[in-house]
Structure 1
Amino acid sequence: MNIKKMDIVGRKSYHCDILFRVIDIKGDSHNKIAILYGQDYRLIADAPFEDLVVVNQSERTKKSMQFRSLEEQSLELFRQDIDLLKEKHEYESTGGYTKTLNYFQIPGRVLHLDGDPIYLKKCLTLYEKIGIPVNGIHCNEKEMAAKVGHLMDLYRPDILVITGHDAYSKAKGDIHDINSYRHSKDFVQTVREARKKIPSLDQLVIFAGACQSHFESLIYAGANFASSPSRVNIHALDPVYIVAKISFTPFMERINVWDVLRNTLTGEKGLGGIETRGILRTGMPFNGHVNQVE
């Protein structure tokens, strides 16, 4: 079968339930193995060529439209949440007076490290739509721990996202053993390095993990939110929805974990976390020229 890098394929043994991108090909001409990245899920897998089928454009479009619809629903629910937060905060800031006051808001600055450049681009587009200041860095999962300290010094984030691709492999061992996971160990080490610089869970909010990641280890390493409690796949954009909720919650308020999870595409099976303080700060007066210094 003539399968090439960057082809979009499905696995016959799984009834082509997930679309994958071929990112590497290993083995010889008699035993070729494709390394696969999920198109919409943060999942990494491998499969023999004989288990793969190239998915045609019409089928890809059909599946893609289903996901875009889910994304739009989630984004709309999130926008409603933000509008309610803003109304509540404006009422409290003005003491309930109807007089219009000129005020400005500073959401949390985000540093997003992603092992997948295509997913990173999707996430950056969504951050821009929502209005969150972000620096996005494509970084191989195995290099993140070595680079995170320097990047934190450079960008001084309020929120750190550590994500990419991951997967649990039954062949490697027990589900509770972190060595049975593709990149969970790398994410855990990156969280630990970040916490060496900023130990406080409120001064730096961390989201870490990808599909099927070892949730407990990430939380105990110092992440505020992580994937994946039930070892299920998470959607490529789920980290952005979590970060956005934190970024637009006032810093005097604590965030109920369910409030963060309910408008994500994956929900509590794929995402979880601990009680965390919001990041948003409001000031006044607004003169039309408030910019964050890079």
Structure 2
Amino acid sequence: MKQGDLVVRKSYGGDVLFRVEDIRSERALLKGTDYRLLADAPIPDLSVVRDPESTKATQQVRVKVNDSLRRMRQQREQQSVQIQSDVRLASQLQNQPYFEMPGKVLHLDGDGNYLRKSMQLYQTMQVPAHGVHAHESQMADLLYGLLPQVKPDIVVITGHDGVLKKQDDLHSLNSYKNSQNFVNAVRVARQYEKNRDGLVVVAGACQSHFEALLQNGSNFASSPGRILIHALDPVYIAIKASFTSIRETIDLSDVIHGTISGIDGVGGIETIGCCRIGLPRPKAVSAAGFIKNIG
């Protein structure tokens, strides 16, 4: 067994697929390939996976991911149709083409592979996004410079987390691997913009301290049930916030149940959307993706 191998844990019935990040003595440091989980395990408990697509863990996740992405695209299509109808009914300029400005995302991720997947999804859904790969402990310091530089409408603070072994006090941040780091980053975001509708904050990873993240200023956070969350769950919420109109609040039930992990994985508070409609359509469309024609 070596660094980079794909493995499952025998003692957990092979429920999650991991990649070996490091080997220390007789234990391996593991990162989930689909879930934002950081774990370690004794090497004898690990089984190397040669064909990940054949594993039950991967197959189950793929079904959930495809369902979530399909729902996301359907909602986006329905939203575009509704926007066109609303703005034309509200305007005397019936034939005037409009344009759309979705909210801009700043995405900080403690995992480079997840960041690449996240940025690909933002691009596919035409959401303007700026991504940064950084260790969870560095995120708070980085945000001091990134927030005024990028000027996002939405910030995603995520990576890896987990409840430490032999920790029974789930109310203490000391019981979590990275929740304190996420809380520190959320506090910096709220120092920059105190209004939760002025900057939408999505924070947390697997088993993160949901209550602490909300109390310190996050709009959406993981994990109410201290469960594993999928790597794309924070991205799904950010996209939903980006395309929800500033005249509407993000539908909590809709956005939570639209994630792969569901209500035990992600929760949040009422939040106004970030998308704006404009008139008339500019002759030159922004290369950064801020403007998307809809008329």
TM-score tier after normalising by the smaller chain length: over 0.9
SS of alignment partner, residue 218 of structure 1: helix
Q: Distance in 2 between matches of 1:128 and 1:66?
A: 25
Task: Give the superposed CA RMSD.
Answer: 1.8
SS of alignment partner, residue 107 of structure 2: strand
Q: Which residue of 2 aligns with 1:205?
A: 200
| Structure 1 unaligned spans of 5+ | none
Return the offset for 1:216. 0.2
Q: Which residue of 1 aligns with 2:51?
A: 57
After alignment, is 158-167 or 63-72 more displaced?
63-72
Does 1:141 find its partner at 2:139? Answer: no
Amino acid corresponding to residue 8 of structure 1 in structure 2: L
Q: Distance in 1 between matches of 2:53 and 2:200?
A: 39
Q: Distance in 2 between matches of 1:221 and 1:120?
A: 24
Q: Which residue of 1 aligns with 2:30?
A: 36
Structure 1 residues 288 and 63, CA, compared in 2 at 3 Å: closer, same or farther? farther
Number of equivalent positions: 288
Q: Which residue of 2 aligns with 1:108?
A: 103
Return the offset for 1:84. 2.0
After alignment, is 67-76 or 163-172 more displaced?
67-76
Q: Distance in 2 between matches of 1:218 and 1:292?
A: 34
Among 71, 79, 83, the residue aligned to 1:77: 71
Q: Which residue of 2 aligns with 1:224?
A: 219
Sequence identity (%): 47
Q: Distance in 2 between matches of 1:186 and 1:127?
A: 25
Return the offset for 1:287. 3.7
Does 1:18 find its partner at 2:6? Answer: no
Q: Which residue of 2 aligns with 1:67?
A: 61
Return the offset for 1:227. 0.2
SS of alignment partner, residue 169 of structure 2: coil
Residue-by-residue CA offset, 1:154-177 (whole Å, 9 max, x unaligned):
211110000000001241341221
Amino acid corresponding to residue 80 of structure 1 in structure 2: Q
Structure 1 residues 203 and 171, CA, compared in 2 at 3 Å: closer, same or farther? same
Among 125, 133, 146, the residue aligned to 1:151: 146
Q: Distance in 2 between matches of 1:146 and 1:264?
A: 29
| Structure 2 unaligned spans of 5+ | 291-295
Q: Which residue of 2 aligns with 1:286?
A: 281
Q: Distance in 2 between matches of 1:9 and 1:51?
A: 10
Return the offset for 1:148. 0.9
Return the offset for 1:38. 0.5
TM-score scaled by length of structure 1: 0.93
TM-score scaled by length of structure 2: 0.93
Return the offset for 1:153. 1.6
Q: Which residue of 1 aligns with 2:42?
A: 48
Preserved contact between residue 6 and residue 52 of structure 2 (Cα < 8 Å): no
Return the offset for 1:59. 5.3
SS of alignment partner, residue 195 of structure 2: coil
Structure 1 residues 62 and 48, CA, compared in 2 at 3 Å: closer, same or farther? closer
Preserved contact between residue 30 and residue 39 of structure 2 (Cα < 8 Å): yes
Q: Which residue of 1 aligns with 2:239?
A: 244
After alignment, is 97-106 or 148-157 more displaced?
97-106
Q: Considering Cα pairs closer than 8 Å and 6+ residues apart, tell me whether 1 or 2 has the greater RCO.
A: 2
After alignment, is 237-246 or 99-108 more displaced?
99-108
Does 1:214 find its partner at 2:205? Answer: no
Return the offset for 1:12. 0.8
Amino acid corresponding to residue 34 of structure 1 in structure 2: A
Does 1:95 find its partner at 2:93? Answer: no
